[in-house]
Structure 1
Amino acid sequence: MAAYTVYLDQVFLGNLVMNYAILWSAAKLGRAPAGRWRLAAGAALGSAYSLALFFPGNSFLMTVWFKTAASIVITATVFAPVSLCKFLTCLGCFYLSSFALGGLTLGLIFFSHSGRLASYSGLGGIIAEHFWPGIFLGLAAFYAAAKGIAALIKSGYFENLFNMRLIIKSDGGWIKVDAFLDTGNHLKDPMTRRPVIVAEYAVLKPLLPEEARNCFEREGEPDVWGFLGSLGDKNYASRFTAVPFQSLGNVNGLMVGFRPDEVLIESQGRQVRVGKVVIAIYHKKLDPGGSYHALLSSELLAPVS
């Protein structure tokens, strides 16, 4: 069996550089603040873990549960304290960046090796031979790809993937609404189990009766049950319902739900009718910049694709 020398200082320094880049990328992807010293501390922990793998009696370090625990500790070192949802987002971005940069670096190491691989036992020797060139090439390619993707996002190249236009029809009237695809929107009408689109009251106003205007244009939070009770036996009362929701700081929220006659999605120059939906009426702005006025569930995109 071929023997090769492992320099532990190179292992530590190489992993330190890689881990710092991975955590920096995770912070950017997860939109979480992280100072340089905390990034360095997390990178140092990851490097210490990698170094420990070379010592005897370390089989427990290679188990899935220990790897997961190490990832959680490293992520907590850099990003805590944050909410559980934010922490899981950062942890996911950490894994995503790790797989992307690690795979890219290994790919470049083997791409740059011109010799023949006689057996799997020679893998370690190839990695050792091209260790630093592979790291620097991987980091350069990773940085270039990140900058390129950021530039495409800034230029609006991916805008059509998430922004689209809805046509909402009800009782002879119709409106067009700019919507944003919200993959976190899993709201459903509790009575019919229909998916829910969240839309601003301001854009829905032309389709709503006078009782809705009295409810949403007064000060404070809308009185959902008061509004539903005010409809009485009017012929459009059956169009409205209550939609429960949860958000940060509001675990028992309610919105007025509105059942339109039809909803169309404009996509690639054509109009596609979606299934029956409920539109939850939101009394504030969804986007401070005003680029969209409704949140669309990804469940509704199946007919469009």
Structure 2
Amino acid sequence: MPVYKVYLDQVFLGNLVMNYAILWAAAKLSRVPVHTARLVAGAALGAAYALAVFIPGAGFLQSVWFKTVISAGIVAVAFSPVTVRMFLTCLGCFFLASFTLGGLAIGIIFYLNSGRLSSWDGIGKVIEGNFWPGILLGLIALWAAGRGFAALLKKGKFENLFRIPILINSGGKQVRVEALLDTGNQLKDPMTQSPVVVVEYNSLKSLLPEQVQAGLERDGEADIWNILGSLSESSLSSRFSAVPFQSLGRANGMMLGFRPDEVVIERQGKLARPGRVVVGIYRNKLDPEGSYHALLGPNVLELTG
């Protein structure tokens, strides 16, 4: 029986690098913002698991159910806190990136050593002898693919796949807005816990009362609390609230929330009504090129069934 030497430091470091690359790719695919420290922590958990499988009598660690549990733990460490739906999305992207990296590595090894694959034993020896070069080249290919995909997303090459028209009705008036499906938009109104659709002010202007228009069109940063105070005597005051956010180019921000009579989503030629939805009013442009004017989160689509 052949005897193999296992260098635990190489196992840990190799898996740390691979897991980090996989988590990085999963973050790019799911478009969930994540800190480098969280990616490193998740990668370290995966590397520790890779070491644990060498413990005598720990064969159960290699079972499918335990691998699934560890994978879920790695994703939780790297991406939490997120909603259940977003967690499952991240987990799916993690598996996709894992299988992609494994397929790239094996494919590269076989491609570079195709002339030596004369038997099943030869296949095993080729993989064993070229494992780390294959992983390294696979990581480079995965990184290049991830960067390319991110660049295409940034340039809007896939935006048509994620654009969804929405209709906003209020006070007998209606506006139609082109929205971009943004998986990173999980905003909720803190008072009602209703999902928030972020819409540019210019697209909503005709639906808003004069006090709100005046407050949002003042020079400098809009005073949300002052705008809400100006509505205190209005019958429309209950329709407006303050919605905190930590995206759209800033942290600890505050936008004005507006509850219209109805939000209607156009999907595949059909109209879907998600029910109680809050519209977050964003003063600036969401897209410099003007190809969309709203951000629609998956939590809104969930309400349409």
Q: TM-score, normalised by structure 1?
A: 0.59
CA distance in 1, matches of 2:17, 2:148: 20
Structure 1 residue 230 corresponds to structure 2 residue 233? yes
Alpha carbons of structure 1 residues 42 and 165: separation in structure 2 relative to 1, 3 Å: closer
Separation (CA, whole Å) in 1 of partners of 2:203 and 2:161: 22
Q: Which residue of 2 aligns with 1:138?
A: 138
Counterpart residue number, 1:68? 70
Report the equivalent of 1:200.
200
Note the 1:1-305 alignment, pairs <5 A.
Answer: 3-9=1-7, 13=10, 16-17=13-14, 19-24=16-21, 26-27=23-24, 29=28, 32=34, 34=36, 49-59=49-59, 64=66, 68=70, 72=74, 84=81, 97-106=97-106, 114-115=117-118, 117=120, 127-128=127-128, 131-132=131-132, 134-168=134-168, 170=170, 173-183=173-183, 184-185=185-186, 187=188, 196-214=196-214, 216=216, 220-222=223-225, 226=229, 229-232=232-235, 241-242=239-240, 247=245, 255-260=257-262, 263=264, 265=266, 272-275=270-273, 277=275, 278-282=277-281, 284-285=283-284, 287=286, 289=288, 291=290, 292-298=292-298
Distance 1:179 1:129, change over 3 A: same
Shift of 1:101: 1.8
Residue 99 of structure 1, CA deviation: 4.3
Change (3 A) 1:95 1:115: same
Q: Label 1:60 to 1:243 Cα distance change in 2 as closer, same or farther (>3 A).
A: farther
The 2-side partners of 1:256 and 1:227 are apart by 15
Partner of 2:259, secondary structure, is: strand
Q: CA deviation at 1:165?
A: 4.2
Question: Displacement of 1:125 after TM fit?
Answer: 6.2
TM-score scaled by length of structure 2 = 0.59
Percent identity of paired positions between Structure 1 and Structure 2 = 33
Residues in 2 aligned to 1:13 and 1:198: alpha-carbon distance in whole angstroms: 47
Q: Report SS of the residue matched to 1:230.
A: coil
Offset at 1:130?
5.0
Over aligned residues, Cα RMSD in angstroms?
A: 5.4
Contact 1:266 1:272 in 2 (8 A): yes
Aligned length, in residue pairs: 278
Contact kept, 8 Å, 2:198 with 2:282, in 1: the verdict is: no
Gaps of 5+ in 2: none
Q: Distance in 1 between matches of 2:301 and 2:194?
A: 14
Deviations 1:120-148 (A, max 9, x none): xx997675355345434533543443344
Residue 295 of structure 2 aligns with an amino acid whose one-letter code is: L
Checking the alignment, whether the CA contact within 8 Å between 1:274 and 1:300 is kept in structure 2 is no
Task: List gaps (5 residues or longer) in structure 1.
Answer: none
Cα distance between partner residues in 2 of 1:84 and 1:43: 17
Tell me, yes or no, if the aligned pair for 1:18 and 1:135 is still in contact at 8 Å: no
Q: CA deviation at 1:8?
A: 1.5
**Residue 194 and residue 272 in structure 1: after superposition, are their counterparts in 2 closer, same or farther (change >3 A)?**
farther
Distance in 2 (alpha carbons) for counterparts of 1:246 and 1:55: 48
Structure 1 residues 266 and 215, CA gap change in structure 2 (3 angstroms): farther
CA contact (8 A) 1:12 1:50 kept: no
In the alignment, the residues of structure 1 paired with residue 138 and residue 189 of structure 2 have an alpha-carbon distance, to the nearest angstrom, of 44
The structure having more radius of gyration, on CA atoms, is 1
CA contact (8 A) 2:162 2:181 kept: yes
Distance in 2 (CA, whole Å) between partners of 1:45 and 1:299 is 30
1:257 is displaced (CA, Å) by 1.0
CA shift in 2, pair 1:17/1:217, >3 Å: same
**Displacement, 1:204?**
0.8
> In structure 2, do the counterparts of structure 1 residues 142 and 273 end up closer, same or farther at CA, with 3 Å as the change threshold?
same
> Is contact 1:198–1:294 with CA below 8 Å preserved after alignment?
yes
Cα-to-partner distance string for 1:3-31 (whole Å, 9 max, x where unaligned): 4442324x754663453144145346355
3-state SS, counterpart of residue 54 of structure 1: coil
